[in-house]
Amino acid sequence: MEKTEKNTDTPLRREDISPNNDPIIALAGNPNVGKSTVFNALTGMHQHTGNWAGKTVTNAIGMAKYGGNSYILADLPGTYSLRGGCAEEETAREFLQSGCTDVVIVVCDACCLERNLLLVLQVRALCERVIVCVNLLDEAEKRSVTVDLALLEEKLSLPVVGITARSGMGLDTLMDRLQELLDSRFEKLEISESTQNREISDLVQEAEKIAAQVLSFGDQPSDLTDRRLDRIFMGRKFGVPVMLVMLAVILWLTMIGANYPSALLSQFLFSIGSAASGFLNEIHAPAWIDGLFIQGMYRTLAWVVSVMLPPMAIFFPLFTLLEDAGYLPRVAFNLDGCFRKCGACGKQALTMCMGFGCNAAGVTGCRIIDSPRDRLIAILTNVFVPCNGRFPLLISLISMFFVTGISAVDSVLTAFLLLGVILSGIGMTFLTSKLLSKTLLRGVASSFTLELPPYRRPQIGKVIVRSIFDRTVFVLGRACIVAAPTGILIWLLANISVANQSLLMHCAGFLDPFAQWFGMDGTILLAFILGFPANEIVIPIILMSYLSQGSLTEIAELSTLRTLFVENGWTPVTALCVMAFSLLHFPCSTTVMTIYKETKSLKWTFLSVGLPTILGFAVCFVIHSVGMLFGF
């Protein structure tokens, strides 16, 4: 069954969630307790399991079947309490108060039970049927933590089940106890106004008292290994350097691993296009059909897929492995101080990380930031993080003009130069965040609770499946949707002539005087404009214009490509200006649409386009002026 989402901005109705009147089961819990893992295991769905960037604050709805019965499961956002004002807490509280739920399963972390019990007590005061699901028993055992489940059930007067969701242990017992509760074998709790209005301090004291009675600890420190790892990944000396090295390694693996499959995929897809053109010629189809749909639309799609798919299929799984292992929250910790000095929220570090894969995903991930002001800063500056679509252009120009060798040492040097470009984008993120926080979005950065989950062995198989289907295919699909009509437009511009010159060349000539001020030419600037739907087609458009071709053109050898660029006036300064503009120019159409969807404001949407573009032109002007000063 496909995932659906119910937004709690509108009143919830039971018939909307469960048309067949199946029991509705809500899954509640703190962040990083494995709640979504339980949800996925019971429903067979593959929802994102981290409560970080990209995690929606709406309720994911799925169906579970067990023992011939069907259940509707609602995966509520991870929250520490039901009495705060952040989006996650409001969403969870409103769903539980809607009267739609038959049973609430509160998922707890066996290693952090005391903190989790605060939410259990709040849910118990709000809902009539509650099950406590103590997850991560395997990690508790490794940390010499023992939970007396029977005593916990006695103290809470609630059904308690111990499970390990990652392996599936205890899930059958959980479903059996769920059905028992639905059959009223456990009496409903009597909810009174006095229990609902208990002070938080009283609930904390009760949670501490119960935890002290049901928990026992071994002689060894339970988190000794995590502490040792945190000295490396979060220490003042090694935290940031290790983070940068890991990012450089991921980029290097992405570049090395994507080259060969990208070339094979390109040959395969373009051969299909050639076969389709041959077929149309054989049946004497009008030439414009082949031009519009094969030379225009299909070749553009083929280029986007062959350039985007291989690196995304490598980058996203590697990135998700770090997330699954519990490392991404450490990245937020390392960068929190930098963002706070810029007047922004530390959670912006997480949305920035998502931007490396896709800026649109990074913008959506800004939902995790509670403050509207801080959320806007994160949305407006996410574009400065180079997304996957800009990597091919950056890598190609580095390889053509700055690192011309093909040895292993050269590939490592290319990776570090690319890392330098990325760090420049991150630096621009800090600078622009500071600028916005002092001007249009003045205010004090909001604080947030940063929980560091334990380090875990990544589930490699699930990570690969989730990365490919939930991220790679999703991002690629959106890029193809906007690239298809662009391919038709590009073909029309290249094949409709006025005064013995194509419209494409007329447009490039018109832009040329303006572009020269910024170290580029009209063809380059036009390519960026036509590449608005997808950054991957900027280089092909430049090639098509330089070669006066009627469709997107591919040159496999970088040396041949460099020769063509040099013949058209390119210098290392030109390449540097193009790289800078690629890093800082307006976001792609998918990201712009996502920004409007998230902000519901034309003002902020236009600013998200204008701000990076102005900064991009300014940086290019400085680079070009310095280059001219030194005679380049």
User: Is 184 a domain residue?
Assistant: yes
User: Is 486 a domain residue?
Assistant: yes
pTM for this one? 0.72
- Domain total for the chain? 2
Tokens linked to 627: 């280059």
CB-based contacts of 551: which residues, under 8 Å, 6+ apart?
Answer: 291, 295, 296, 299, 491, 494, 544
User: Is 146 a domain residue?
Assistant: yes
Q: Of 222, 252, 275, which one is at a domain's C-terminal end?
A: 222
Residues 114, 254, single domain; the answer is no
pLDDT recorded at residue 318: 82
pLDDT recorded at residue 275: 93
Residues 392, 503, single domain; the answer is yes
Helices then strands, each counted (H, E), the chain: 28, 11
Asked if residues 524 and 515 have their Cβ atoms less than 8 Å apart, the reply is yes
User: Is 227 a domain residue?
Assistant: no
Residues 259, 160, single domain; the answer is no
Residues 212, 248, single domain; the answer is no
DSSP per residue over 434-469, as a string?
HHHHHTTT-SPPPP-----PPP----HHHHHHHIII
Residues 39, 65, single domain; the answer is yes
Residues 530, 613, single domain; the answer is yes
Provide the phi-psi class of 67: left if phi over 0, else alpha when psi is between -120 and 50, else beta: left
Residues 208, 260, single domain; the answer is no
Question: What is the C-alpha to C-alpha distance for residues 405 and 383, in angstroms, rounded to an integer?
Answer: 31
CB-based contacts of 155: which residues, under 8 Å, 6+ apart?
Answer: 210, 213, 214
Question: What is the C-alpha to C-alpha distance for residues 465 and 488, in angstroms, rounded to an integer?
Answer: 33
User: Is 229 a domain residue?
Assistant: no
Residues 185, 292, single domain; the answer is no
User: Is 232 a domain residue?
Assistant: no
Asked if residues 355 and 387 have their Cβ atoms less than 8 Å apart, the reply is yes
Strands (E), 53-176: 59-66, 69-75, 103-109, 130-135, 145-147, 160-162
**Which domain, by its residues, includes 24?**
4-222
Residues 431, 510, single domain; the answer is yes
Question: What is the C-alpha to C-alpha distance for residues 342 and 438, in angstroms, rounded to an integer?
Answer: 9
Residues 269, 401, single domain; the answer is yes
User: Is 450 a domain residue?
Assistant: no
CATH code for position 99: 3.40.50.300
Residues in the chain, pLDDT under 70: 1-12, 45-59, 84-87, 185-198, 219-223, 255, 404-411, 444-451, 466, 469-471, 474-475, 478, 554-556, 632
Asked if residues 545 and 487 have their Cβ atoms less than 8 Å apart, the reply is no
Measured between alpha carbons, how far apart are the two ends of the chain, in Å? 60
Q: Of 175, 193, 222, which one is at a domain's C-terminal end?
A: 222
pLDDT recorded at residue 191: 57
CB count within 10 Å of CB 185 equals 10
Q: Of 161, 189, 222, which one is at a domain's C-terminal end?
A: 222
User: Is 230 a domain residue?
Assistant: no
Burial code (b: 16+ CB inside 10 Å, e: under 16) for 284-300 equals eeeeeebbbbbbbbbbb
Residues 127, 202, single domain; the answer is yes
Residues 580, 625, single domain; the answer is yes
